[in-house]
Structure 1
Amino acid sequence: MDYDDRLDRALEETPDIHQQGERFEVPTPEIRTEGHATVFENFQDVVERLDRDPDHVLQFLQNELGTSARIDESGRARLTGDFSTDRIQAAIDDYLEAFVICPECGLPDTRFETEQGTRVIKCDACGAISPTGE
């Protein structure tokens, strides 16, 4: 196998990084009402997919939804008040935009780091460093 054949083979087997939707999908929130609370049943699944600290995500949801919340013993988020799936999905989408998706390359391959005492988002795909806005 010569160089050109190997190059063609490598390109065929390499995933297309511009097809983010196929590679990175966050589960749709599973919501149910329980008295005066909204229970986010698959909160842990969403947090694991985002690869972020559950407390950080919960704090963001509280701020976005203007409510109080806690994580129960089963790992579900319990939000005070009645919230629709669409409203919680919109808040998660805002979290993605603010803390997960790289503003430079648009990929979700980011992580939090602290540089000079400031929390930043570092992209493992392109190397960009962005402020978190916190």
Structure 2
Amino acid sequence: MDYDDQLDRAISETPDIEETGSRFEVPDPEIRAEGNVTVYENFQATVDRLDRDEQHVMKFLQNELGTSAHIDESGRARFTGDFKQSRVAAAIEEYTDAFVVCPECGLPDTRLQDEQGATVLKCTACGALSPTGRE
């Protein structure tokens, strides 16, 4: 059996993988106004999906939205001011691009780690080390 025969056999025995879109989806923020505060109801679910420290995500959102905030006892984020769902969703997308998805392979299989005083994104899928570009 020569190389071409082996290659043809390998290709025919390899299962087809159907692309059904991205396997990584962050839940849409559930936002509601409560007086002069915007409550991010599913903040904890978002943090869990991103697999990041809630304080890191909160700090980023505070900077992006230009406001103060805290996490209440039930895991909801409470931002001072009135913010639309689309604005919070855009900030979460920015966070995901900067701190979760690998710029090399596009997978979310990453960890934040410190390298010589800088925070970098370490991809467990492809092994890439990438600067976060933000902090």
**Structure 2 length-normalised TM:** 0.85
Aligned to 1:114: 114
Aligned to 2:89: 89
Aligned to 2:46: 46
Q: Report how many aligned residue pairs link the two structures.
A: 128
CA distance in 1, matches of 2:18, 2:117: 36
Equivalent pairs: percent with the same residue?
63
CA distance in 1, matches of 2:110, 2:12: 29
Classify the secondary structure of the residue corresponding to 1:97: helix
Asked if the contact 1:38–1:81 (Cα under 8 Å) also holds between the matched residues in 2, the reply is yes
Q: What is the aligned-residue RMSD (CA, Å)? A: 1.9
**Structure 1 length-normalised TM:** 0.86
Within a 5 Å distance, the mapping from 1:1-134 to structure 2 comes to: 8-12=12-16, 21=22, 23-133=23-133, 134=135
Deviation at 1:84, TM superposition (A): 0.6
The structure with more radius of gyration:
2
Cα deviation, 1:62-104, whole Å, max 9, x if unaligned, reads 0000000000000000000000110000000110111111111
Q: 1:106 to 1:26 in 2, by over 3 A?
A: same
Q: 1:113 to 1:11 in 2, by over 3 A?
A: farther
List gaps (5 residues or longer) in structure 1.
none
Deviation at 1:118, TM superposition (A): 2.3
